[in-house]
Amino acid sequence: MSAVILAVFEDYEAAELVRVTLVRDGFPTDRVELTASRDMGRAGLQPADSAHGKCVQYFSTLLAREDERHYPEMLAQRVGSGAATVTVHPRGALETARATEILQQAQPADVVEHELANHGWERASAKHGGYWIQHVWLEPSPDTDCIYCRLFPDRSHSH
């Protein structure tokens, strides 16, 4: 399993606000998950007969190390009691730091971290807005406006 940061919030509204903040900051929606009794998210897709069982299965897939075995049941109970969780799957040190900062600013009741040293190479969040390709490839250039000339400067082609 890859890196996971899971924050527990006492109410759905606080968790929803954090999810929106993370997505606005640049995290893709498929790497930010909310789990609550009124919005089960991916936990709702688990093959169990009850909401509690679905949560236990879901959290067990995220937190599967021996030293994490107590978390799935505890988290499922918290969700059943009205709490909500926000799970972030960060890629790289920058995303991990940014997700941690956003989650801590929201003052969660608890935070569980899993494999945070296990970073992939991709990034989705940035400290500034804008599109990378817009700034690199699409701005006017005194040399050429051809994207192929910019991508492959050592190769000739016809225009």
Report pTM. 0.72
In a domain, 128, yes or no: no
Total count of domains within the chain? 1
* pLDDT per residue as tens digits for the range 100-146: 999 999 999 999 998 877 655 444 445 555 444 444 444 556 666 56
What ranges in 2-143 are assigned the alpha helix state H? 12-25, 51-62, 71-80, 92-105, 132-133
* pLDDT per residue as tens digits for the range 65-102: 899 999 999 999 999 999 999 999 998 888 999 999 99
In a domain, 11, yes or no: yes
The number of beta carbons lying within 10 Å of the beta carbon of residue 58 is: 26
Domain boundaries, position 9: 4-114
In a domain, 65, yes or no: yes
* pLDDT per residue as tens digits for the range 23-75: 999 999 999 999 999 999 888 878 889 999 999 999 999 998 899 999 999 99
In a domain, 38, yes or no: yes
Give long-range contacts, CB 8 A cutoff, 24+ apart: 153-157: none
In a domain, 133, yes or no: no
In a domain, 156, yes or no: no
Q: What is the CATH number of the domain that holds 93?
A: 3.30.70
Distance (Å, whole) CA 2 – CA 58 = 15
Distance (Å, whole) CA 148 – CA 126 = 27
